[in-house]
Amino acid sequence: MKKQQLLALGIMAALAVWILIPRAAVSVDNNTQLSNKAVITAVSADSTVTGESNKLTVRAARLSIQEYQENIRVRGRTQAFRTVDVRAEQSGRVVSTPVIRGARVSTGDVICNIAIDTRDVDLQEAESRREQTRFEYDAALDLQKQGLQSAVSVARAKAAYDSSIAQVERTTLALYNTRIRAPFDGVIETRQVEVGDLLNRGSICATIMDDSPMLLVGLVPERDIGKITLGAPVTAKLLTGENVVGVVTYLSRAADAQSRSYRVEVEINKSDADIRAGITAEIFIAASQIQAHLIPASALTLDDKGDVGVKVLDDNGVVDFKHVIIVGDETARLNAGIWVTGLPAQVTLVTHGQEIVFPGQQVERNFDWSNNPR
């Protein structure tokens, strides 16, 4: 047998003997305790912790109920007040486009010129025909007074005169419509034609966007639509970093068939004029005022069922769990937190240590870090 095998067998034999040798049991004095150490005992949720062991100390704050302006948060975008395709009312060749894309125009500014062609001479012809028929009608009236003209002839002369007047109006309008004008103040967003293009009646010359005022549009969930009224103040933060204010000017009466939400439109103050359409916005619509508590976000915890709530203390320092509903948040740097409902008007809230105490447990309260020490 090799030397290595003999060595292994020797080690195994020694180990077996060591295991088989009986030893005296080591007794532990149950009364022995480590000095200056607190013992923490876990208890069930429905039992009350009592005893002589050291109490835990938690940080707490006394809070009072406050008025809170509930805000409905909506994701939306900016949109022009109106956008119109300006179309030709006369057919013809485009001879000029005085306004470039992106330029601002006023009501009545010419944005496309169509060739006059024979429209000016058509107007001269119509005016001459009007003068002729007027003289014929006047002569027929004079002859009728002398008994030399029948009523039928006078009526025929009157019809010819009226027709000539109508023709003058038509040719004047046709000549006027060779200049396509802006229907309102706005910005030339697009121009679909260039010089030399042939426009038919109804063809688009340009698209004008009215950006004064600009709108915010979004979809409000059906559970919140009843909280919003026309004229409600609105604040919004654009994706570009700008903050704007406005008021609600439109609430849809019918829900969107797919999202089951309602369209809302907000008119932005005209002072915020330099805003582009189509920018994503986070919209906050002021709803009704409610009674709520402002608490630190870190005070929230969960119960055994996973419901959101907070730990509170009674006058004797006994812990209790209260379910809460989050209704908003406060981003002010000096008073940040979240707004919740479901708490008594006056409450002592556990702000730190809520994760290591249980309902029914009695603890010591420390208000040194409280915002509202009393």
Please list the pLDDT of the chain residue by residue as tens digits (374 residues). Answer: 567 777 777 788 888 877 877 765 544 444 444 334 444 444 444 545 454 446 788 898 899 999 888 888 899 999 999 999 999 999 999 999 999 999 999 999 999 999 999 999 999 999 999 999 999 999 999 998 888 888 899 999 999 999 999 999 999 999 999 999 999 999 999 999 999 999 999 999 999 999 888 999 999 999 889 889 899 999 999 999 999 999 999 999 999 888 899 999 999 987 766 889 999 999 999 987 888 999 998 899 988 888 999 999 998 889 999 999 988 888 766 678 889 999 999 999 998 888 888 898 888 888 875 554 33
Question: What value, to the nearest 5°, has the Cα angle with vertex 361 and ends 355 and 367?
Answer: 70
Helices 119-145, 151-176: axis angle to 10 degrees equals 160
Domains in the chain (CATH in brackets) are: 57-65+296-366 (2.40.420.20), 72-81+209-288 (2.40.30.170), 116-177 (1.10.287)
Q: CA nearest 239: which of 283, 269, 281?
A: 281
Q: Are 77 and 278 in contact (CB under 8 A)?
A: yes
- The distance between the two most distant Cα atoms of the chain, rounded to a whole number of Å, is 163
Both structure tokens of 77? 């975008």
Q: Where are the beta strands (DSSP E) in 115-253?
A: 179-181, 186-191, 198-199, 204-221, 233-238, 243-251
- Tens digit of each residue's pLDDT (9 = 90 or more) over 76-130: 999 999 999 999 999 999 999 999 999 999 999 999 999 999 999 999 999 999 9
**Burial of residue 242, with CB atoms counted within 10 A of its CB: 0-12 exposed, 13-18 middle, 19 or more buried:** middle
Residues 6+ apart with CB under 8 A from 15: none
Query: pTM of the prediction?
Result: 0.62
Q: Are 228 and 188 in contact (CB under 8 A)?
A: no
Using the structure block, give the residue that is written with the tokens 């919740």.
340
Residues 6+ apart with CB under 8 A from 228: 72, 220, 248, 251, 264, 285, 287
Q: Are 311 and 358 in contact (CB under 8 A)?
A: no
Query: Which phi and psi angles does 196 have, rounded to 5°?
Result: 100, -20
127: DSSP letter: H
